Chain A
Amino acid sequence: MKSILQPWPWWVTGPLIGLFVPLMVVLGKKLGISSNLKHACAMLLPTRNVSYLQYSVKDFVWSLWFFAGLFAGGLVGQAFLSDGSVALLPVSLFSVRGASILFVGGLLVGFGTRYAEGCTSGHSISGLSNLQKPALIATLCFFAGGLVMRGVDAILGGVL
C-alpha cells in the first residue's frame, strides 16, 4: 500500500502511458489531448467567421469525456492515492502574481499546441510511436522552446 501512495517510478508510469497508444487505436480513436482545447473553444466562444472552429463538436464528445476524466484522475490521485509527497505547483505560484505568470504560460501552451497540431500526447507519444517524422521535429522543438525559456528565466534571475 505504501508504494501505491508514494510517487510511482518511471518504469511503471512510462510503459502504462505507452499502452494507451495501441488501446486508443483498437478503440478506433487516437490519443491526443490538446485537440480538446479546440473543442472547448468551439463550444464556449464565438465561432462566427472563425472557420477553424466551425465543425461538429458532437463528433468529438468522446474526446471531451476523456479530457473530463483527466480532472477526475487528478482529484482521485490527490484525495485517495497520495501520501502528500507529490507537489504539483510550488507554493510560490499560489498568488495573483503566480497565476498571472501561469496564465501567460497557458497562452503559449494553447497557441503553440494548436499551431503545431499536437502536444506531448499527440506528437511525442502517439506520433513518435507510429514513427512519424513531423512528431520527432515537434518533440525536438518542444524541448528547444523549454530550453530557451529556461535561459530567459536564468537571465531574469529566476522570476518564473
Chain B
Amino acid sequence: MNALQFILGGLFGLILFKGQVASLPKIRAMFGFREPDLYLIIGSAVAVGIFSLQILKRVERHLPLKTPFHYPEKEMTKGVIIGGLCFGMGWYITGACPGPIAVQVGAGDWPAWATLAGAVLGTYLYARLKHRLPH
C-alpha cells in the first residue's frame, strides 16, 4: 500500500505541476478572474468526482465486499468558515494549497520551503490553540 500511495502521490503531484495548479501566477489569475483555467480544472474534477462516486454507490451493492466503501463526509463547524477564510488568504499569498507546496519544493523552488515551514508551524499553532478557538 505504501509503495502504491507513493506512486499515486507522484502522479497527483505531476498532474498538479503540469496543470499549473502549483503556479502562483495562475492562482493569482484565478482570484483576479483573469483566466478561467483553475475554475475549469476544479469544476471538471468535481464533475468527474460526483459522477464516479454515484456510479460507485450503485455498483457497490453488486460487489462481494467485506467492508462497505467509506465515502468522504465532512462535518460543519465554525472552523470551516473561519479556517476556510484564513486558508484562502494564505492561498492567495503563497499561490499554493497544501499539495502544491510539496510540488513547488520538489520542483526546486527554494522559497517554497518557507511556505512549507510556515504551513507546518501554522498547523502546530492550531494544535496548541484548538481548545480556545470556537468550533
Q: Determine the main DSSP class of B at the interface with A.
A: helix
Give the distance to chain B from A123, nearest Cβ to Cβ, in Å: 7
Is there an interface contact between A19 and B79, defined as CB atoms closer than 8 Å? no
Closest-by-CB residue of A relative to B118 is A106
Considering the chains assembled together, what is the distance between the CA atoms of A28 and B116 in angstroms?
Answer: 28
Is there an interface contact between A89 and B6, defined as CB atoms closer than 8 Å? no
Tell me which residues from 53 to 94 in chain B have a Cβ below 8 Å from any Cβ of chain A: 53, 55-56, 67, 69-77, 79-94
CB neighbours (8 Å) of A7 from chain B are 18-20
Is there an interface contact between A148 and B52, defined as CB atoms closer than 8 Å? no
Give the distance to chain B from A78, nearest Cβ to Cβ, in Å: 4
For A35-66 the 0/1 string (1 means CB < 8 A from B) is: 01110110011000011110000000111011
Is there an interface contact between A77 and B79, defined as CB atoms closer than 8 Å? no
Q: Determine the main DSSP class of A at the interface with B.
A: helix
Report the interface size for chain B: residues with CB under 8 A from the other chain. Answer: 108
Closest-by-CB residue of B relative to A62 is B5
CB neighbours (8 Å) of B3 from chain A are 65
- Contacts A26-B69, A125-B45 given: A119-B97 contact, CB under 8 Å? yes
A100 touches which of B31, B114, B124 (Cβ 8 Å): B114
Considering the chains assembled together, what is the distance between the CA atoms of A138 and B118 in angstroms?
Answer: 21
Considering the chains assembled together, what is the distance between the CA atoms of A39 and B24 in angstroms?
Answer: 26
- Chain A, interface size category, equals 35 or more
Is there an interface contact between A41 and B49, defined as CB atoms closer than 8 Å? no
B49 touches which of A100, A118, A126, A143 (Cβ 8 Å): A126
Give the distance to chain B from A83, nearest Cβ to Cβ, in Å: 11
Q: List 23 A-B contacts (CB under 8 A).
A: A18-B44, A19-B48, A29-B5, A77-B103, A82-B17, A89-B24, A95-B111, A105-B90, A105-B92, A110-B120, A113-B123, A115-B82, A116-B87, A123-B74, A130-B53, A137-B76, A138-B74, A141-B81, A146-B27, A146-B91, A148-B88, A150-B28, A153-B92
Task: Contacts A12-B18, A22-B52 known; list 20 others, CB within 8 Å.
Answer: A12-B19, A14-B42, A18-B46, A20-B12, A21-B72, A45-B120, A66-B9, A71-B102, A71-B106, A74-B107, A87-B25, A95-B111, A106-B94, A106-B115, A109-B94, A109-B122, A112-B88, A126-B72, A127-B74, A145-B87
A binding-site residues for B, Cβ under 8 Å:
7-8, 10-23, 25-34, 36-38, 40-41, 44-45, 50-53, 61-63, 65-78, 81-82, 86-90, 93-95, 98-135, 137-150, 153, 160
